[in-house]
A = this chain, B = another copy of it.
Amino acid sequence: MAGALEIDSVSPNVNGKLEILTDDLIPTAVVPEPLPKVVTAAGGGPSESEEDDEGLEKPPKKSREIVLGRNVHTTCLAVTEPEANDEFTGDKDAYMAGVLARYRKTLLERTKHHLGYPYNLDFDYGALGQLQHFSINNLGDPFIESNYGVHSRQFEVGVLDWFARLWEIEKNEYWGYITNCGTEGNLHGILVGREVFPDGILYASRESHYSVFKAARMYRMDCEKVDTLISGEIDCSDLRVKLLANKDKPAILNVNIGTTVKGAVDDLDLVIQTLEECGFSHDRFYIHCDGALFGLMMPFVKRAPKVSFKKPIGSVSVSGHKFVGCPMPCGVQLTRMAHINVLSSNVEYLASRDATIMGSRNGHAPIFLWYTLNRKGYKGFQKEVQKCLRNAHYLKDRLRAAGISAMLNELSSTVVFERPRDEEFVRRWQLACEGNIAHVVVMPNVTIEKLDVFLNELVEKRSTWYQGDIQPPCIAADVGKDNCVCALHK
């Protein structure tokens, strides 16, 4: 015992003679040479430096390929073993500081030129910087304390209560947690649906987020893809046909509160009406509302169909890094306590009542959300929603005035338009594209000034893309004839 103390007090860092200590204390014996050999990478190129990632001023890259079965290592910051004398020379610290400073510059530039993804990049969490020193982990269930004391459950539950009020469910009737992202919310909501109805069929529109179909595959569920209207909303007449063909099995539905590409909002009331008309009583269907982006915006839009637990829905999820804004992805998932009891009844599989998907959970995200919700409040979000919808209309109107096909759904801030011909332009503005269309999601950090810079650049570039015989594409199939101003439809 005293011997062990003695041994430990000989600091190997100071005298550097590890060997002396290792052999007389067998279980702590370490491998003499810890540095693993580099495995020969036949055909694998060397890691290039971070300079490759700066982007903006470089000549256009060749168009990126998605190669199944190959990893692309083009931009990789290799981890290198410290030199023995690093502590004295400071070379390593200097190298890393340089990498981080360049990276920060890239992030600033990339944050400035960003329009395509529904992330609110406008936040100031300076007051929370002090918390980065702690390993905050909300292990398991938010409502059951674990013995690990460095958690933020008190903030998490505050945030969940705020959303429970928004979506009209009593504190002791809901269960929920703060997820790692919108996908985790969908995975959870659909899993709850499957546990409630083990032989249920999953129905989701074609324009649902791909995580919905990923869930069906993971969970081994039968899945029916439902057609969409030109707006991107679920086509309830097709839903009816598919429900009637499977009347013998319960229905699990994914309802989109803002689709990824067109920002379309499925008509929740019409979906419920369709279910009822097809003979599905309330105890034979489960509805998960995927509110990734618009779940937090819609409550503040006058004519939007309301997402509410007063209706026969089972769960709602929303992303935290989208409309709220957060340094890392996160989300909120709310469901009915009654459903969670079904999930938790199988205690053989779940330690205590851990009904989350992940065990360890990021404890910083709830604090970020708590901070913003407190500062903005329901009224602050209302103002921001209004601003986004206005600016989205401005963008759509200006695109159309410039002769560019464009669509904006009534309840959305996602402007869909003709895909820019130049991939470098797409990348510069970080537009999300699908087929012939691209979109801009107007978030609180997207100002009229930023839109003007974008529009002017687009109009100018476009005049060089379409000359002589080269015509802008027809996108009527995606946005409808009324929104298309191609040669045929204008």
Q: Which residues of B contact A135 (CB under 8 A)?
A: 111, 119-121, 123, 321, 325-328
Q: Which residues of B contact A397 (CB under 8 A)?
A: 1, 4
Cβ B182 vs Cβ A359 within 8 A: yes
Cβ B328 vs Cβ A147 within 8 A: no
Contact check: which of B130, B174, B358 meets A104 at CB < 8 Å? Answer: B130
Interface string of A121-139 (1 = CB under 8 A from B): 1011101111111111100
**Does chain B have a CB within 8 A of A450?**
no
Cβ B386 vs Cβ A71 within 8 A: no
**Does chain B have a CB within 8 A of A277?**
no
Cβ B181 vs Cβ A213 within 8 A: no
Cβ A154 vs Cβ B50 within 8 A: yes
**Does chain B have a CB within 8 A of A207?**
no
Q: Which residues of B contact A210 (CB under 8 A)?
A: 349-351, 354, 359
Instruction: Name 15 interchain pairs, CB-CB below 8 A, sorted by A.
Output: A12-B383, A28-B386, A31-B302, A40-B170, A55-B149, A69-B341, A81-B377, A100-B127, A123-B133, A129-B129, A136-B328, A147-B432, A147-B433, A213-B349, A329-B362
Contact check: which of B119, B137, B359, B376 meets A328 at CB < 8 Å? Answer: B137
Q: Which residues of B contact A433 (CB under 8 A)?
A: 147
Contact check: which of B70, B100, B364 meets A327 at CB < 8 Å? Answer: B364
> Interface size of A by Cβ–Cβ distance < 8 Å?
193
Contact check: which of B52, B299, B345 meets A36 at CB < 8 Å? Answer: B299
Q: How far apart sit A112 and B182, CA to CA, in the bound complex (Å)?
A: 34
Cβ A390 vs Cβ B8 within 8 A: yes
Cβ B70 vs Cβ A172 within 8 A: yes
Stretch binding the partner chain, chosen from A279-287, A423-431, A461-469, A471-479: A423-431
Cβ A390 vs Cβ B7 within 8 A: yes
Interface string of A313-333 (1 = CB under 8 A from B): 000000101000111110000
Q: Which residues of B contact A119 (CB under 8 A)?
A: 135, 137, 148, 150
Q: Which residues of B contact A5 (CB under 8 A)?
A: 394, 448
**Does chain B have a CB within 8 A of A73?**
yes
Q: Which residues of B contact A214 (CB under 8 A)?
A: 349-350
**Does chain B have a CB within 8 A of A78?**
yes
Q: How far apart sit A131 and B110, CA to CA, in the bound complex (Å)?
A: 13
Interface string of A92-114 (1 = CB under 8 A from B): 10001100100110110011011
**Does chain B have a CB within 8 A of A162?**
yes
Stretch binding the partner chain, chosen from A216-224, A232-240, A244-252: A216-224
Top 5 closest pairs, chain A to chain B, by CB:
A110-B149, A329-B360, A28-B389, A181-B360, A29-B302
Q: Which residues of B contact A4 (CB under 8 A)?
A: 390, 393-394, 397
- Given known pairs A81-B377, A81-B378, the reply for A34 and B300 (CB within 8 Å) is yes
Cβ B134 vs Cβ A77 within 8 A: no
**Does chain B have a CB within 8 A of A184?**
yes
Q: Which residues of B contact A137 (CB under 8 A)?
A: 117, 119, 321, 328-329
Q: How far apart sit A158 and B41, CA to CA, in the bound complex (Å)?
A: 15
Interface string of A2-13 (1 = CB under 8 A from B): 001101110011
A425 to chain B minimum Cβ distance, whole angstroms, is 11
Q: Which residues of B contact A8 (CB under 8 A)?
A: 387, 390-391, 394, 448
Q: Which residues of B contact A147 (CB under 8 A)?
A: 116-117, 426-427, 430-433
**Does chain B have a CB within 8 A of A76?**
yes
**Does chain B have a CB within 8 A of A470?**
no
Q: Which residues of B contact A64 (CB under 8 A)?
A: 144-145
Cβ A150 vs Cβ B73 within 8 A: no
Cβ A30 vs Cβ B300 within 8 A: yes
Cβ B28 vs Cβ A379 within 8 A: no
Q: How far apart sit A37 and B169, CA to CA, in the bound complex (Å)?
A: 11
